[in-house]
A and B are shown apart, each in its own frame.
Chain A
Amino acid sequence: MKILIAEDDFVCRTLLQEILAEQGVCHVAVDGLEAMAAYRNALEDGKPFDLICLDIMMPGLDGQQVLQEIRKIEQERNIGGKEMVKVIMTTALADSKNIMRAFIKGSCESYLIKPIDKDKLLAEIKKLGLSAKD
């Protein structure tokens, strides 16, 4: 599985990388623009990401914008249904607007609130049918 971790905070990023390392190849991006570039490159190469962990508060593009941008690209390229990339939001923002915006406007798969709990994250991945262990 190919994973993209978009997170500007070093500690969080490392933690996620540690947790997800056993699940597959992890790429990292330190801000929204980098995340978009990584997503686009992977798409061009024909090896798109299977999972994206997305922080919201990042410099440049924020996670919400990245998410909507990704969905827009998918729409343009006619990537739909089960082929859409799975996105887990990992953020400290727990207000209703952000949560619903991510779900409804961005069609994210899951929304985890920081601090990230390893078991919870792995459970979500399993639920999405991406777990490396099965």
Chain B
Amino acid sequence: MTNDSLEEQREIVEEFVQECTDLIDQLEPSIIEMGNDIKESDFELSEDTRQLINEVFRLFHSIKGGAGFLALGNISTTAHAAENLLDEIRTGSILLNHDHVDLFCKTIDFTREALDLVAANLGDGGMETQAEELTTLLRTAISLKTTASEKPVAKKAAPPKKKNGPPPPPEPVKKEEPVFEFTITPDMVERFTQEADEQLQEVEQGLLKFADNKADPETLGELYRHIHSFKGNCGFMGFGDMEKLSHQMETVLDAIKSEADFGKAKPADPLLSLLDVLKQALGDISQNGKGKIEGVELYIDLLQDLLPEGWGSSKKTTTEKPPRVGEILIDQGVISEETLDQALDIQNKPIGKILIDMGAASEVEVDNALTDQNKKRKPAPSPDLDRTSPTAIKRQDIRVDLDKLDTLINLIGEMVIAENMLVHSPDLKGLELENFQKSAQQMSKLIKELQEVAVTIRMIPVAGLFRRMTRLVHDLSRKSGKKVDLQLFGTETDLDKTVIETITDPLVHLLRNSLDHGVETPDERLKNNKPETGIIKLSASHEEGEVWITLEDDGRGLNRDKIIKKAIASGLIDGDGSDLDDREVSNMIFLPGFSTADKITDVSGRGVGMDVVKQNLAKIDGKIIVDSRPGSGTRTTLRIPLTMAIIDGMLTRVGKSHYIVPILSIKESFRPTPKLITTSPAGDEIVRIREKLYPVIRLHEIHKIEPDSRELSEGILIMLEDGDNTTCLFVDEIMGQQQTVIKGLSEYIGKMGEARGVSGCTILSNGDVCLILDVGSLI
């Protein structure tokens, strides 16, 4: 009996968590949209906004009701307070301002966090302090009946109390209770110290190598990235001294990376000893200290002296920045960035992993939680289900362990191979087997369908990811003072769950860049005859068997001259760069360490970001393309293969070797007549088709194998297309089409860039191994 009711209770709570999460996902964009109507002076709420407020009110009301029923006190009181504030705004006795919007966002964040807790422990105990703080803030906002004239004053928020970084700003603070308060929980500090410790260790390893003159550029890049992340974390947690010091170390490392002349100075030694200082400060924090560094200015000066004369004169701004940069940032509303970072943290860091590492949760518990999460994210598994039960409004789903799904997909992959081996078995050659052929065909069809279904199982719509970006844009635009309208398209496009997780980070980087560097300030925009509000379009679509995620802004675009100049200065290109087309130039921004920014800020400018974007995309075999028109905007396209497991391939032969060419890249194939072929003065072969010229690639030359014939007219040319590039591949024979299960190459042959033109391998029906061509890198 008790067991039964406990089970029932659990079910209700799970239902609640799921419903609420959906609700919050709807709520967030509404809140932000609500904020868009805010004007500088006194204003009447427009009809649309009034409706939005009602909507938001209702959603908070729902959360309150549900939470109240389940005795989740913390959630319901907070939602109640938010509801009250909204009611006041609705009736017009309080003027909606940006602080309110921020406050609502924060309530949402809190509720999300609380829901996670509820999902794990069936209760929201332990969130009392946060709930109380938030409720007080909301209540103060109510008691503070802001009128238009008072508004600017109320806007000046006190700095977060719990941060020990910058001292409070000199302005008199209007009321006791700070409007913004970002709480750093002990749990977060613990996580931070753990991660920071690991980063420092990595840095130490790297520095030691460097001191022994054994560091290659790759190690340096790694080293640099670690200290960059460390700095970011420190800033986020509010450990100002540590942030400042690591920032300076980063600058020195940047100089090292760019092979600046340090003269007789050996930068590694001071860096190492400063690393110890950081470690000490970190130890201090884990002992509940404040991470203060005695004489941090001295250390920074020390590093400054180390830098070669004139190094980064354009970057001087950073080294000379006033010590109270944190303070300035807070005035600019850096809090919102923190909330953002926190949100990101929650969203895409493997929190479970950290928890396991800390021993706070067992692997099983985390797995359970993850499955829960999956359930919440998973859309209806197949449209057919909906069709058979039109009355069911709720989507029907069950929870499945991700591991099981992966196993299933792997098994299906193996089955495709087995089917190939069976149907094309050498034993059957030359036999007339009509019935066998029929059943074999039937089986092929079924397996193909099965495989298509299997691929969609792991797919979830990008809508969730996109919605998170709404929040990011909101926070960033508030912080930077730029006006931006984010438009979402194709949110219903499905993508593999892991792919979505992998592209979250890159997308954040790209969006930040768009806002930071792309979109201009309102003044500048007006001057250039552009509407004051910038537009960023984020869209997802299916194209050429890939998913394209496009981010387009109407900002100032990339500065070609600047990029070329920088590229020449960094030795990335030879010559003056005039032979490069716009696209080639644009794509240079993805080279590691490339940044044209004059100023290095805490957010961007180091040139690390784009490198991260590229690396993350490489993980999922994705490509990234930048198109930019100076003055009118930049378009970045992430091209991600739809499935990473099985492709349609064309089996070809060169000499004794077999190759699979992905069918989607093949435009046509033909046997050329000798008169179609010309040889350019440089010795390159060119084939002319329908008055267009295409270069010829000889596969046997690239892979150094012996072909049947070297005469182009005796073999076959396959025209391959990749993006805007088209080329013709010379092979001996086309053997047929087949489903191909991609198996990764072993690391010793498969390292990126080492095996040219090969993306993986597969097993043929006769058991032979065959290489899969990567059209992109061939061209």
Footprint of B on A, CB under 8 Å?
A: 71, 75, 78-82, 84, 94-97, 99-101, 103-111
Q: Say yes or no: A81 contacts B62, CB within 8 Å.
A: no
Given A80-B53, A107-B61, verify A100-B12 contact (CB < 8 Å).
yes
Say whether B394 contacts A97, CB under 8 Å: yes
Contact of A104 (CB < 8 Å), options: B20, B47, B50: B20
Shortest Cβ distance from residue B227 to the other chain A in the assembled complex, whole angstroms: 46
Please give the distance in Å from B58's CB to the nearest CB on chain A: 5
When distances are taken between beta carbons in the complex, the residues of chain B under 8 Å from A79 are: 54
A101 to B55, CA, bound (A): 17
Question: In the complex the two chains form, is A96's CB within 8 Å of B394's CB?
Answer: no
CB pair A103–B86 under 8 Å, yes or no, is no
Cα(A78)–Cα(B87), bound, Å? 13
Residues of chain A within 8 A (CB-CB) of B51 are 75, 78
Tell whether, in the assembled complex, residue B87 and residue A96 are in contact, meaning their CB atoms are under 8 Å apart.
no
Can you name the residue of chain B whose Cβ is closest to the Cβ of A127? B68
Using Cβ atoms and an 8 Å threshold, which residues of chain B touch A107? Answer: 58, 61-62, 65
Q: Which A residues touch B90, using CB under 8 A? A: 80-81
Of A75, A101, A103, which contacts B69 at CB under 8 A?
Answer: A103
Q: Other than A104-B23, A109-B65, give 19 A-B pairs with Cβ distance below 8 A.
A: A71-B58, A75-B55, A78-B50, A80-B53, A80-B58, A84-B61, A96-B8, A96-B11, A96-B16, A99-B12, A100-B15, A100-B16, A103-B62, A103-B65, A103-B66, A104-B16, A104-B65, A106-B62, A111-B69
B582 at the interface (CB under 8 A from A): no
How far, in whole Å, are A75 and B16 apart by their CA atoms in the complex? Answer: 23
Is B57 on the interface with A (CB-CB < 8 A)? yes
| Assembled-state Cα–Cα distance A99/B560 (Å) | 60
Q: Is the Cβ of B54 less than 8 Å from the Cβ of A104?
A: no
Contacts of B20 in A (CB 8 A): 104
A99 proximity list for chain B (CB < 8 A):
12, 15, 69
Nearest opposing residue in chain A for B66, CB measure: A103
Quick check: A96 and B58 within 8 Å, CB to CB?
A: no
Binary CB contact string for chain B from 37 to 60 against chain A (1 if under 8 A, 0 otherwise) = 000000000010011011101100
Q: Is B301 an interface residue (CB 8 A)?
A: no
Q: Closest approach, in angstroms, between the C-beta of A116 and any C-beta of chain B?
A: 16
Cα distance A95–B10 in the bound complex, in angstroms:
11
The 4 A-B residue pairs with the shortest CB-CB distance, nearest first, are A80-B54, A103-B66, A96-B12, A96-B15
Our count of residue pairs bridging A and B at CB distance below 8 angstroms stands at: 70
CA distance A95 to B16 in the complex (A): 12
A selection of 8 A-B contacts at a CB cut-off of 8 Å is A75-B58, A78-B54, A80-B57, A94-B8, A96-B12, A100-B66, A107-B58, A107-B61
CA distance A99 to B20 in the complex (A): 13
The one of B50, B53, B63, B87 in contact with A82, judged by C-beta atoms closer than 8 angstroms, is B87
CB B653 to nearest CB in A, in angstroms, measures 59
Among A84, A96, A105: residue with most chain B CB under 10 A: A96
Judging by beta carbons under 8 Å apart, are A97 and B53 in contact? no
- Cα distance A71–B55 in the bound complex, in angstroms: 10
Among A94, A97, A104, A111, chain B packs the most CB atoms within 10 A around the CB of: A104
**A103 contacts across to B, CB distance below 8 A:** 16, 19, 62, 65-66, 69
B734: shortest Cβ distance to chain A, in Å?
Answer: 56
Least CB distance, A74 to chain B, in whole angstroms: 8
Is B91 in contact with chain A by the CB < 8 A criterion?
A: yes
Q: Determine how close the nearest CB of chain A comes to the CB of B627; give it in whole angstroms.
A: 43
CB distance from A79 to the nearest CB of B (A): 8
Quick check: B16 and A81 within 8 Å, CB to CB?
Answer: no
Residues of chain A within 8 A of B19, CB atoms compared: 100-101, 103-105
Q: Given A78-B50, A81-B90: A108 and B15 within 8 A (CB)? A: no
The minimal Cβ–Cβ distance linking B681 to chain A, given in whole angstroms, is 73
Asked if B87 contacts A108 (CB within 8 A), the reply is no
B76 to A: closest C-beta gap in Å: 11
Across the interface, A81 reaches (CB within 8 A) one of B11, B66, B86, namely B86
Residue of B nearest to A106 (CB): B62
Cβ contacts B54-94/A at 8 Å (1 or 0 each): 11011001110110010000000000000000110011000
| Contact residues in A for B419 (Cβ distance below 8 Å) | none
Q: Tell me whether B14 is interfacial, beta carbon within 8 Å.
A: yes
Query: Please, which residue of chain A has its CB at the minimum distance from the CB of B90?
Result: A81
Docked complex: B371-427 residues within 8 A CB-CB of A: 394
- Do the beta carbons of A84 and B15 come within 8 Å of each other? no
Question: Which chain B residue shows the least CB distance to A68?
Answer: B393
Kindly identify, within residues 636 to 689 of chain B, every residue whose CB is under 8 Å from any CB belonging to chain A.
none
With a CB–CB cut-off of 8 A, which chain B residues contact A94?
8
Closest to A107 in B: B62
Chain A residues with CB under 8 Å of B91's CB are 81
Q: Cα distance A100–B20 when bound, in Å? A: 9
Known interface pairs A96-B12, A104-B20; A75-B54 also in contact (CB < 8 Å): yes
Q: Chain B: which residue is nearest A94 at the CB level?
A: B8
Hey, which chain A residues are within 8 Å of B50, CB to CB?
78, 80
Contact A96 B14 (CB under 8 A): yes
Residues on A with C-beta less than 8 A from B47 are 78
Given A96-B8, A97-B394, A104 and B57 contact (CB-CB distance below 8 Å): no
